[in-house]
Amino acid sequence: MRALSDAIVVAMPQVHREALVPYSPAQMFALVNDVERYPEFLPGCAAARILSQDEQSMQAQLTLAKGGFQQSFTTENRWQAPDYLTMKLAEGPFKFLNGEWRFVALGDAGCRISLKVDFEFTSMLAGIAFGPAFQRLMLSLVDAFQQRAREVYRD
């Protein structure tokens, strides 16, 4: 008889989304890096605050809420504007959380934005309770930023 831990195989969630947008890398980078405005337009984002910041990095805390459940986590974000921004877990209910936004210029056509996120919750219970909502949120980020760009840059 196999031990329970040998019988359960859990795939670590990954998100990879891309989109072509009629905006410059600098415009899209500015929206993604404007963390304190996330609650205005990101579904499920109840609060966002910058804990510390310098010219190429910040520590930010996000609070996500869904159906009475609320969870906060902190990331270390580093960037090379306007090309990319990376996120790494500093504190929260994850075993790991790593993400990367990339913004690639396409001439006058705008740019390609891409988001890759890998994460794993610290416990199976946290993963069951919050995992599906968190994965849906991660999958909706590119769409949310596209919509935000349309509102901010009025196309």
pLDDT profile of the chain (155 residues), mean per 10:
42 85 98 98 94 98 86 97 98 95 96 96 83 83 96 87
The predicted structure's pLDDT at residue 12: 63
The predicted structure's pLDDT at residue 42: 93
The predicted structure's pLDDT at residue 103: 99
Q: Is 94 helix (H, G, I), strand (E, B) or coil?
A: strand
- The length of the chain, given as a count of residues: 155
The predicted structure's pLDDT at residue 53: 98
Write down the domain spans for the chain.
15-34+75-153
Q: Which residues of 33-66 are buried (b: 16+ CB within 10 A; e: fewer)?
A: bebeebbeebebbeebeeeeeeeeebbbbbbbeb
The predicted structure's pLDDT at residue 45: 92
42: left (phi over 0), alpha (psi -120 to 50) or beta: beta
Structure tokens at 81: 């504007």
The predicted structure's pLDDT at residue 63: 95
Q: Are strands 57-66 and 94-105 parallel, antiparallel or unpaired?
A: unpaired
Q: Is 32 helix (H, G, I), strand (E, B) or coil?
A: helix
The CATH H-level (homologous superfamily) assignment of domain 15-34+75-153 is START domain (3.30.530.20)
